[in-house]
Structures are given as C-alpha cells and as structure tokens.
Amino acid sequence: MMNVNPKRSRSGIGRFKLLAGHGLIALMLCCSCNPMISDGVHQKDLQKDVALYTDYGTIVLRLSDETPLHRNNFIAKVNAHELDSMDFYRVINKFLIQTGKDLPNEKAGLIPAEFRADLFHRRGAVNAAREGDETNPTQASADLHFTIIQGKVQNDSTLNRAEQRINEWRAYNQVINDPANEKLVTQLQACYADSTQEDEIPAIQDKLNELTQKQLETMPKYHIPEAHREIYKTQGGSPHLDQNYTVFGEVVQGMNLVDSIAAVKTDASDKPLQAIYIRKAELIKRKKYPQQND
C-alpha cells in the first residue's frame, strides 16, 4: 500500500487552491480590461480592422465609430465566422461589388438606418444593402449583405443628376411613410407578396410616383456638400446612393483588388461567371496604410 503523507497532501491541495485563485483573478482582470460591450463584441475589437481574405487577395476594412449599430453587428458576424466562404454575388464595373448571405430566422435581423452627414459613397466606402422602401419604409439595413463602392469620377453634370435622384428617393420615402398613403402602400405590399396581383402594381406605383413629385416640390432639398463634390470629382464614387443607404466603413487596403473583382465577366444578373469568395474574415491589428482613394 502506498504511504501518503497527509501533511504533504494537504500542502499540495493548498498550492492548487492558491494557483487556481490566482488564475481566477487573472481571468477577472482580463475580462475587466476587455469587457464585452454587445453580443460577440469586446471593447478591444473596436480598435481593430477587418481583413477579408478573398480569392484575389486581402482587402482591409475600417469600420466607422459613427455607426455603432452597423459596426458592432459586422464585428460580431466576423467573430462568428459568418463571412467565411461568402461569395461576391453582384459585381458591376465602375459601381460596386456586393456580397452577403441570408441567415436563419433565429439569427437574422434588420439594423436601423444610420445615415451620417459626413459618411458618403466615395470610392472605397462600405455600405449596407437593404430591401426597397415599399417593404422596408424605415430603410433598415440587411444584417449580412454589404457592398464596397468602386464608382467612377464624377463631374458637375453627373453630380447634379445624382443630387436629383437622392431627393427623388427621399421624397418617395416620405410618401411611403405618410399615414395618409397607408392604404396605397398596403395594397402595393400585398401585390408584391402575391404574384397573382402583379398586374396591379403599375397603377399603384403611378399613384405613388405622382405623390412623390408633389412631395418633391415642397420638401427641403438635400445638396451634396462642396467637400464631397470635390472628392467625387477627383477620386470618384457613387453619389446617388447618399442619404438613402448606410455607409459604415471604408477600404483602407486593397482597392486595387476591388477594381480587379469589379472587372470580371458576369452574367445578365451581374453575378460573376466564376465565383469569387471571401475565404475567411478576421479582426486584425489596426495600422496606418497608404492612401487608397487616389
């Protein structure tokens, strides 16, 4: 029979308890200096960039602190590996590249719009895709569909047309949200939901368009700021999307890869003939990168 020294045994247990106690304290200190601020997001995550490892190379995104709902949602999706193996399913040269996927109902959700005056669709902007105003009157964003703006260099004429489109969309959204038009909007939504009623859509849409023109005549207009116009004229972008879609980040490394992806051959629905994937996405240490938007 093995002879166990009771004192030695108790001493060992005591050391184990002491080490375990130290480990618990270290864990508590670690958690306190890097607390979780929302589901799947820790405080230190806000100081990092997002690397998208694509078939064409690494694209690095920097998320905006001005859009915390979109920022935190995106970080949580990266940490949960939801972006891994997503493909760029919509690619339009001189406009954008788009990726994303639909999540199961228990994970899916919409993100409230976060339009910001100083976040606009310049070259390299990252924006959130969304459903149209007819079924999404609050212009809330899809939680895992986003685009990277390539765009093109603008001039005063194209910027003026973009400004007109911005205001037309804003007027339309105001009409959609006007309680006086609730019946029309409900009818339109019913037609979209039931394919047997599709023939009724043009007549309803015409009525909404008429109301939109009247709204456009009386509402305060949005004007693209001069500083934004200058960037659009020198660096490029897609200005007609401003104030209608949430911009929540920008490309800080890899715009040449965005250009390459945007240039691939696509089918009639703008889907690349050869699939292009985000193989993996992860948070990386933030650092300074050369200017991307020249």
pLDDT digits (tens, 9 = 90+) for 55-106: 999 999 999 999 999 999 999 999 999 999 999 999 999 999 999 998 776 5
Residue from 163, 166, 169 nearest 209 by CA: 169
Q: How far apart are CA 233 and CA 292, in angstroms?
A: 16
Q: Looking at the predicted structure, is the pLDDT value of residue 27 above 70?
A: no
Q: Are residues 63 and 203 in the same domain?
A: no
Q: Is residue 87 part of a domain?
A: yes
The CATH number linked to 81 is: 2.40.100.10
Q: Are residues 191 and 261 in the same domain?
A: no
Q: Looking at the predicted structure, is the pLDDT value of residue 11 above 80?
A: no
Comparing 6 with 199, the larger pLDDT belongs to 199
Q: Are residues 189 and 68 in the same domain?
A: no
Q: Are residues 173 and 53 in the same domain?
A: no
Q: Is residue 225 part of a domain?
A: yes
Residue from 121, 55, 125, 123 nearest 88 by CA: 55
Residue 132 belongs to what domain range?
36-153+236-294
pTM: 0.86
Q: Is residue 7 part of a domain?
A: no
Q: Is residue 27 part of a domain?
A: no
Q: Are the C-beta atoms of 71 and 248 separated by less than 8 Å?
A: yes
pLDDT value, residue 8: 43
**pLDDT cut 90: percent of the chain above it:** 80
Extract the runs of DSSP E, i.e. beta strands, from the chain.
Answer: 36-38, 41-42, 48-54, 57-63, 86-92, 96-100, 110-111, 125-128, 141-142, 145-149, 247-253, 277-285
Q: Are residues 183 and 240 in the same domain?
A: no
Confidence of residue 18 (pLDDT cuts 50, 70, 90): very low
Q: Are residues 82 and 191 in the same domain?
A: no
Q: How many domains does the chain have?
A: 2
**pLDDT cut 70: percent of the chain above it:** 87
Q: Are residues 139 and 184 in the same domain?
A: no
pLDDT value, residue 103: 79
pLDDT averaged over every residue in the chain: 90
pLDDT value, residue 39: 86
Q: Are residues 132 and 173 in the same domain?
A: no
